[in-house]
Structure 1
């Protein structure tokens, strides 16, 4: 493209790298992945989505950039993070059903327990209006349905 800036080149290269990540892993990259390069792709997508919602001025989403995203990375606006949290809620529910107790931070029944404990605590904090997890009415309903008493104060 004539007159394409280095910034536009970098943008298109990063979008293409995100598409390769999706091809390899079957999901969009997130900022929570352990690999630093993959994490930077997740941060890029987070900033793109913020720009799309108008909550940041760091990135300008021109119609041309949106066209590139739509063509190279279908579903870039997606709700990947929400699906991930919903999947984690289901994983906590399966743990509770299997072990007849809520996950604990120290008493490790299986290797997923400390991670599930942290997620459940994030959800409990969100119910109090704290933290950075969005506790939508749909998520609260999912929790109430799958994990009765999920928001109790103690895990005794």
Structure 2
């Protein structure tokens, strides 16, 4: 299977910050001082919680979405994202594909709707397929 025929199994967003209490506090202080930024955080969060728009958007994708911090990445995600965070990866049976780079996420200005459009366009441009979530066709006449 080549990436151009690969089916997206899940999306992984990698924040440009460490997780855990210390990492979150470090990020928050840096954000308040203007010395730290993470465009993916701006898309998914408002204040200390997830944006309502984000929570409503994720189920429309038809694939799981995992958001991880730098210190939470497994070896595969680390290899695909090292030096390119924040980012969005599509995980396929053929491997991980970088969909959105830091500059592309920053250009979205924290917009969930623009993220949705750009993620779908990037997957299409990479030749990736979304899982077929349509109901299986039925045989026979439609129910009366």
TM-score by length of 1: 0.24
Whichever structure has more strand as a proportion of its residues is 2
Q: Which has more helix, going by share of residues?
A: 1
If asked which structure has higher relative contact order (CA below 8 Å, sep 6+), I would say: 2
TM-score (norm 2): 0.25
